[in-house]
Amino acid sequence: MNSTYKNTLEAVQQCIVDCRICLTEMAGKESHNDCPKCCIQCIDACEAVLKMITSDSAYVKQYALLCAEICEYCADHCEDHTHEHCKTCAKTCRACAKACKSLAA
């Protein structure tokens, strides 16, 4: 496996973890934006990229670009909150978006 795939896998896996934590922490809390709904979509996108990478799909770049877009959308919404878990989620989402864009390039 090449290093770009490895870096993206690590970023995607961390994004899944931090989005799940954010989603769990936001349960029962009010949100003035799409957080935690964006975390659900981000987890789904990251899991799809994970599957495409591990199956060596010919469509991995397309999935990675879409994942990057969804991760940025999630980061925008999570950054808008003051909760530490949202800030962590947003940072991880940005790193995942960067890794996915690098893979797609």
State the pLDDT at residue 1: 61
Query: Average pLDDT of 3-21?
Result: 94
State the pLDDT at residue 51: 96
CATH number for the domain harbouring residue 94? 1.20.1270.360
State the pLDDT at residue 33: 77
- From the list 85, 76, 71, the residue with the least C-alpha distance to 22 is 85
Answer yes or no: are the C-beta atoms of 19 and 88 closer than 8 Å.
Answer: no
Q: How many domains does the chain have?
A: 1
The pLDDT tens digits of the residues spanning 17-61 come to 999 999 999 887 777 777 788 999 999 999 999 999 999 999 999
* Alpha carbons 78 and 40: distance in angstroms, whole number: 12
Task: Name residues whose C-beta falls within 8 Å of residue 30's C-beta, 6 or more positions apart in sequence.
Answer: none
State the pLDDT at residue 11: 97
The pLDDT tens digits of the residues spanning 54-96 come to 999 999 999 999 999 999 999 999 999 889 999 999 999 999 9
Residue 16 belongs to what domain range? 3-104
Q: Which two tokens stand for residue 43?
A: 């987890």
